[in-house]
Amino acid sequence: MQPPAEPFKIKVVEPVNLPSEERRKEAIREAGFNTFLLLSEDVYIDLLTDSGTAAMSDNQWAGMMIGDEAYAGSKNFYNLEKAVLDVLGYKYVVPTHQGRGAEHLMFQHLVKPNQIVPRNMYFTTSKLHVEIPGGKMVDAIIDEAHDPENLHPFKGDMDLNKMQKYVDDYGVEKIAFVSVEMNVNMAGGQPVSMDNLRKLREFCNDYKLKMIYDATRSSENAYFIRERETGYEDTPIIEILREMMSYSDGSVYSSKKDCLVNIGGFLATNDKEIFEATRNMVVIYEGLHTYGGMAGRDMEAVARGLREGTQYEYLKYRVNQVRYLGEMLMEANVPIVKPTGGHAIFLNALKFLPHLEREQWPAQTLAGAIYEDSAVRAMERGAVSKGRDKETGENVFPALELVRLTIPRRVYTNTHMEYTASSIINLYEKRNTIPGLKMVYEPKYLRFFQAKFEQMPL
Ligand code: PM9
């Protein structure tokens, strides 16, 4: 495919440095083969995450200058509230410092000990915030999502048969709520269809279950609905978003992704009871309910970014830049999750490094090897991220053992994508020479952020 043309021009640039081969070798060892522990100045192209890494627009920067830093009643909060109502259709908003702040409030309010939360796969921070109040996240995504080769257009869909089984096996009172993630991150950035959301709403109505979204990447999900679902070909993104949200009882949202900002989050709902409970909790953990841990200027940037991030031409370029990288890799037969998702390309580490055992952490190994080859920073999304079973304490080895090449929004050029592809293709050709790792330090919570590894003999 042709590289997608950018619907913007560049006004400010930031120099980046390509460290020498010797420094790269040293840096990844100093970081214990954990790309989270690399210094950013040792990274040439940073594809660790799309979270908080976007380039803001001139309109957003202008908004930062009208930050109202009043402790209470900042006008930027009301601009945010209005943007959430216009774009997502929720009238109540509780601001938080970032997405996990919103998860903390929402899940602590909704989850009681020994309850389960079915979800389309899992996300690391979301799973932990269900576990902290004593709950357990259980998987209800369609089987196709666990198969990297399957080309299902909506691999983020929930499986209603699995949902029925959870109701039958546990009883409805044991289900705290139903959690639905948009553009499922751990499945490869795979969207949920409108049809599935509609059917799930009917199911939840039958059992009087609340349906709460992780709407973090909902604008990118809406783009896929427009691209792939019959009847939405000409529907404005904002209308698709409002219909999606209309089936929910509320959402948690990390603004650091589709809102094109560097920090921020919120939860939003039309349910007065959820709103009142979480608005009261926000003052304990985040800050007053009209700033929730964000500066006024940051709320203004979120408000403007939420609207900007729904522009069709922007989303088309965004999704196609990810696709461009994916197609270059597929042409060279590099194993990736298909179809390509919204925010990242996911390498299938089990197929890339078939000579390694699961206990040698193939995805962690591959992320380290990519850095050493080219100073491109990627992220492990496999067994290290999944962690241990809450009850048995054993490592869990998920079907997907992936390395995520996450594309920050509006930051890198298509030439950067070409550089990345050529490094990975080069590495794929010499994949048999890559030794595995052993974990030598494991923190208790969210171990992928801080764990350390050493190389094992080949
Ligand atoms: N996602 C990501 O890189 C950032 C940190 S975790 C490695 O993908 C979802 C679907 C997310 C997410 C963060 C959060 C938490 C919630 N849900 O990072 O706290 O992808 O703003 O959001 C990351 P915050």
Are the C-beta atoms of 317 and 7 separated by less than 8 Å?
A: yes
Say what the pLDDT of residue 273 is: 98
Alpha carbon nearest to ligand 1 atom 22, residue: 99
pLDDT in tens, 189-236: 999 999 999 999 999 999 999 999 999 999 999 999 999 999 999 999
Say what the pLDDT of residue 71 is: 98
pLDDT for 268 beyond 90: yes
CA of 339 to the centre of ligand 1 (A): 22
Say what the pLDDT of residue 8 is: 97
CA of 448 to the centre of ligand 1 (A): 13
Q: At what angle do helices 99-110 and 124-131 cross, to 10 degrees?
A: 30
Based on the residue annotation, tell me whether 35 is a catalytic residue of this protein. no
CA of 50 to the centre of ligand 1 (A): 9
Nearest-angstrom CA–CA distance, 276 and 278? 6
Task: Read off the amino acid at residue 173.
Answer: E
Mean pLDDT to the nearest integer, 119-145: 97
* Every domain range in the chain assigned CATH 3.40.640.10: 58-308
pLDDT in tens, 318-360: 999 999 999 999 999 999 999 999 999 999 999 999 999 999 9
* Every domain range in the chain assigned CATH 3.90.1150.10: 21-50+311-453
Top CATH class, 58-308: alpha beta
CA of 196 to the centre of ligand 1 (A): 23
CA 334 to chain centroid, in Å, comes to 23
Q: Average per-residue pLDDT in the chain?
A: 97
Pocket test for ligand 1, best of 98, 183, 216, 377 (most atoms within 8 A of CB): 216
% of the chain at pLDDT higher than 90: 99
Based on the residue annotation, tell me whether 381 is a catalytic residue of this protein. yes
Are the C-beta atoms of 135 and 113 separated by less than 8 Å?
A: yes
Based on the residue annotation, tell me whether 453 is a catalytic residue of this protein. no
Based on the residue annotation, tell me whether 415 is a catalytic residue of this protein. no
CA distances from 262 to 65, 200, 254 (A): 16, 33, 10
Based on the residue annotation, tell me whether 266 is a catalytic residue of this protein. no
Say what the pLDDT of residue 90 is: 98
Mean pLDDT to the nearest integer, 387-397: 93
**CA of 385, closest atom in ligand 1:** 7
* Closest by Cα among 52, 65, 51, 68 to 291: 68
Mean pLDDT to the nearest integer, 377-383: 97
Say what the pLDDT of residue 436 is: 98
Residue of 124, 125, 290, 310 marked active site? 124
What is the CATH topology of the domain spanning 21-50+311-453? Aspartate Aminotransferase, domain 1 (3.90.1150)
pLDDT in tens, 357-379: 999 999 999 999 999 999 999 99
pLDDT in tens, 287-328: 999 999 999 999 999 999 999 999 999 999 999 999 999 999
Q: Half-sphere exposure (CA, 13 Å, Cβ side) for 379?
A: 21
Residue 92 DSSP class: E
Based on the residue annotation, tell me whether 323 is a catalytic residue of this protein. no
pLDDT band for 390, please (50, 70, 90 cuts): confident
**CA of 406, closest atom in ligand 1:** 3
Provide residues with CB under 6 Å of ligand 1: 49, 51, 98-100, 123-126, 181, 185, 214, 216, 254, 256, 265
Residue of 127, 155, 256, 257 marked active site? 257
CA of 361 to the centre of ligand 1 (A): 22
Q: Where do we find the tokens 């059992």?
A: 207
Q: Which residues pair with 46 in a beta bridge?
A: 377
